[in-house]
Structure 1
C-alpha cells in the first residue's frame, strides 16, 4: 500500500472580519498576510504556520491542496449548465 502524499501547502481563507478582534489575533492575521475578508492565501505547511492558524481557527477556513481542488471541482460541476429539459406531448 502506498503512503499518502505529504501536504505541501495550506490554503487559508479568512471567513470573519477584523471588527471586534483582539489585538493579538489581529497581529496574527496581519502577519499571515490577510488584509480583507474572504481572502485566500496559500501558505507552506510548516509548524509555524499551523500554530498561527490554530490561534485564529475560529476565523479562518483551512484546506489542503487536495481538499481545495476537490471543492473547486464540485463548485464548478454545480455551476455548470445543465442540459435543457425536453417535454414531448
Structure 2
C-alpha cells in the first residue's frame, strides 16, 4: 500500500484571459498568478474543492507523480553514450 499523498503540485496551464472573474479569484486563492506557474498546496478537502472548480485550467500532480515526471525529463535530457561505428 502506498503512502498517503501529503501535498499537491498545481500548475496553471491556461491564462486568465477570457476566464470568469469567479474562477480568477479561485486561482489567485490557490496562489497562482501567471501561466506555467507551479505551487505546492496541502492535500486538504478545501484545496481539492477549489481545484475541482477550475480543473480545466490546471495540471495537478501528487508529490510521487511530480518526482517521476521530473526524473523522466532528466533522463530524456541526459547525454547519451557516443555512437561507435566500426568498419
Q: Which band: TM-score by shorter chain?
A: over 0.9
Q: Which residue of 2 aligns with 1:73?
A: 71
Q: CA RMSD in A?
A: 0.6
Distance in 1, Cα, partners of 2:35 & 2:8: 17
Structure 2: how far apart are the matches of 1:33 and 1:42? Answer: 9
Query: Structure 1: how far apart are the matches of 2:32 and 2:70?
Result: 21
- The CA deviation at 1:4 is 2.3
Say if 2:22 is the partner of 1:20: no
1:88 deviates by 1.2
1:8 corresponds to which residue?
Answer: 6
Offset from partner CA, 1:23-46 (integer Å, 9 cap, x none): 110000011111110000000000
Question: Which residue is equivalent to 1:57?
Answer: 55
Shift of 1:53: 0.4
Name the CA distance, whole Å, in 2 between partners of 1:35 and 1:58.
16
Q: Which runs of 5+ in 1 are unaligned?
A: none
Paired residues, what number? 87
Q: Distance in 1 between matches of 2:15 and 2:24?
A: 10
Runs of 4+, deviation exceeding 4 Å: none
